[in-house]
Amino acid sequence: MTGQVGLEGEISLRQRMIAVAVEMTTNDGWAHVTMSRLARAVGVSRQTVYNEIGTKNALAEAMILTELDNFPALVTNAFDQHPDDLPDAIRAAILAVLELAQDNPLLHAVVSATHGADTELLPLLTTHSTQLLDLAKVVVGERVAAYKSHLTREELDGAIDMVVRVVLSHVMQPSGTPARTAATLAFVARRVLED
């Protein structure tokens, strides 16, 4: 059952390894995470870590992808809570994403890597930012399609692209509280959508 949750809700060995690696990264920095240290912390052999995860680079990628998997569910939930008001759905989605990012220790570790600390994580962030951007645009686009809008499909795609890019920039370098940023971006979205 590698990579899956067991019948009783137990996490898999792979998931446990990733969770411990995230904790090590946030506490000590990525440079201090080794496969041997991870093996000791999880209580398995180093070979088992390599069998489950692969290389240290594969571990970093698995950690980041695990964290990024949380974002689409937040967006979907926000839209579900506001089925009749697109700007409110957008505000709720932005707020949920920014609050998760603000409280996420791994994202803080990755962001600190972009400011000169642990630069080994920076290439992974760059690689997966495109993947996250594309996924976010698809998720938001699918949800927005259920609302009435006077915008053409191309205009709507452009608006979605702009909002997603701005939100991701605030994930990486916030300029205000999540609530203030969400309110500001929702105001802009409302003006664009209601003109």
162-187: per-residue pLDDT in tens?
A: 888 888 888 877 888 999 999 999 89
Unique residue bearing structure tokens 């792979």: 14
3-state secondary structure 35-81: HHHHHHHHCCCHHHHHHHCCCHHHHHHHHHHHHHCHHHHHHHHHHHH
| Contact (CB, 8 A) for 109 and 30 | yes
In this prediction the pTM is 0.72
Burial 12-33 (b: 16+ CB within 10 A, else e): ebbbbbbebbbebbbeebbeeb
| Contact (CB, 8 A) for 117 and 29 | yes
Q: With cut-offs at 50, 70 and 90, classify the pLDDT of residue 2.
A: very low
Alpha carbons 160 and 166: distance in angstroms, whole number: 10
Q: Indicate whether 3 pLDDT > 60.
A: no
Alpha carbons 82 and 71: distance in angstroms, whole number: 17
The architecture CATH gives domain 69-194 = Orthogonal Bundle (1.10)
**10 or 160, greater pLDDT:** 160
| Contact (CB, 8 A) for 90 and 149 | no
pLDDT recorded at residue 80 = 93
User: Who's near 170: CB < 8 A, 6+ residues apart?
Assistant: 98, 101, 181
What proportion of the chain, given as a percentage, has pLDDT over 90? Answer: 31
**112 or 100, greater pLDDT:** 100
pLDDT recorded at residue 150 = 85
Topology alike, domains 13-59 and 69-194: no
| Contact (CB, 8 A) for 45 and 53 | no
How far separated are the first and last CA of the chain, in Å rounded? Answer: 52
pLDDT recorded at residue 46 = 94
Listed range (41-45, 77-81, 109-113, 176-180) with the worst mean pLDDT:
109-113
What does the mean pLDDT of the chain come to? 82
Domain 13-59: CATH class, spelled out? mainly alpha
For the chain, which residues make up each domain, given as ranges? 13-59, 69-194
Alpha carbons 23 and 8: distance in angstroms, whole number: 24
CA atoms within 13 A on the CB side of 121: 27
